[in-house]
Amino acid sequence: MKVGFIGLGNMGGPMAANLAAAGHTVTGFDLAAPCPEGVTAATSGAEAASGADVVITMLPNGAILRAVAAEIHPAMAAGAVHLDCSTVDVDSARAVADAAQTAGLSAVDAPVSGGVGGAAGGTLTFMAGGSEEAFAKVSPLFDVMGQKAVHCGDAGAGQAAKICNNMILGITMIGTCEAFALADKLGLDRQKMFDVVSTSSGYSWSMNAYCPAPGVGPNSPADNGYQPGFAADLMLKDLRLSQQAAEAVDADTPMGQAATALYERFVEAEDGAGKDFSAMLPRFEKRGRG
């Protein structure tokens, strides 16, 4: 396919490179990041989008997505697909889908899970919203960039799935870190704690696959000084999106609210900025009750 790719940062760059390596013709644009090998540089988003079968965007937030969509939609050929892989608010995803339809285009919102490693390795998971037809058209690209793509429903459903998933992730990571800190103070060996919980009812991805305790369980950012695999800053962004969505639909999410407040304090008032989201464990280690 002929692909336009806008947003070539830590995630978008490797994704675009994988598409080019698979034989797709990729034209990319970014305000700051360089074009990866195999990708032709454009001087604007509109130039990258011109004549493309699919235009992929990987952008920081909904406001930027809306602005980029307004620029690229008039340049896109009728019937082309705008595939947005950013993690943004549901309202922005739906607004961009409506704008695409008005312009004679299709749109798919498909935020990703898997981080920078998944982007580089082509093992991302995509959560997609949009029509069946648009999803089918971009599926060959999902096959290159990831290992799984789930069609979650209509426009905005991909973003809804992503923020619900990451709300669970934020909550369970906090619970896992709290439990390790409590186990420490009770004199329970961390490895014994892991051996019990990882095979019992406390099982979770946060414990079993991404354990926040160094030297326990599979290798994780905890074993690398909490250098981010998934930054606490990004977890805070996703938790805020979950609470924005919850407020919009009058959903009661007290644990989501509490997790948002804790990550907000950790990132903005403590030393969590730039660290992995599992660095909540040393935070709890240093604190007493109250």
> 231 with 130, same domain?
no
For 71-121, write each residue's pLDDT tens digit. Answer: 999 999 999 999 999 999 999 999 999 999 999 999 999 999 988 889 999
pLDDT, position 26: 98
> 130 with 22, same domain?
yes
d(CA 277, CA 271): 11
Strand 146-153 relative to strand 112-113: parallel, antiparallel, unpaired? unpaired
> 248 with 116, same domain?
no
Q: What percent of the chain has pLDDT over 90?
A: 97
Residue that finishes a domain, picked among 124, 153, 182? 153
Active site residues: 162
For 44-58, write each residue's pLDDT tens digit. Answer: 999 999 999 999 999
Q: Which domain holds residue 46?
A: 2-153
**Residues in contact with 2: Cβ distance below 8 Å, sequence separation at least 6, in sequence order:** 24, 25, 27, 51, 52, 53, 54
**What pLDDT band is residue 234 in, cutting at 50, 70 and 90?**
very high
CA-nearest of 6, 11, 7, 32 to 229 is 11
Torsion (CA) 181, 182, 184, 187 in degrees, nearest 10: 180
The structural domain count of the chain equals 2
> 165 with 146, same domain?
no
pLDDT, position 64: 97
> 138 with 211, same domain?
no
Coil, strand or helix at 3:
strand
Whether 223 shows a pLDDT value over 90: the answer reads yes
State the CB neighbour count (10 A cutoff) for residue 190. 17
> 149 with 174, same domain?
no
* pTM, 2 dp: 0.91
d(CA 152, CA 150): 6
Token readout for 15 is 């994704």
Strand 2-6 relative to strand 25-29: parallel, antiparallel, unpaired? parallel
* Mean pLDDT taken over the chain: 97
> 142 with 182, same domain?
no
pLDDT, position 229: 87
d(CA 232, CA 32): 23
For 160-171, write each residue's pLDDT tens digit. Answer: 999 999 999 999
pLDDT, position 8: 97
Phi, psi dihedrals of residue 150, rounded to the nearest 5°? -115, 125
> 191 with 266, same domain?
yes
Length, in residues, of the chain: 290
Whether 290 shows a pLDDT value over 80: the answer reads no
Q: What is the CATH number of the domain that holds 71?
A: 3.40.50.720
123 alpha-carbon distance from chain centroid: 13
pLDDT, position 54: 98
290 alpha-carbon distance from chain centroid: 33
**What pLDDT band is residue 22 in, cutting at 50, 70 and 90?**
very high
Looking at residues 175-193, what average pLDDT do you find? 98
Token readout for 268 is 């903005």
For 26-46, write each residue's pLDDT tens digit. Answer: 999 999 999 999 999 999 999
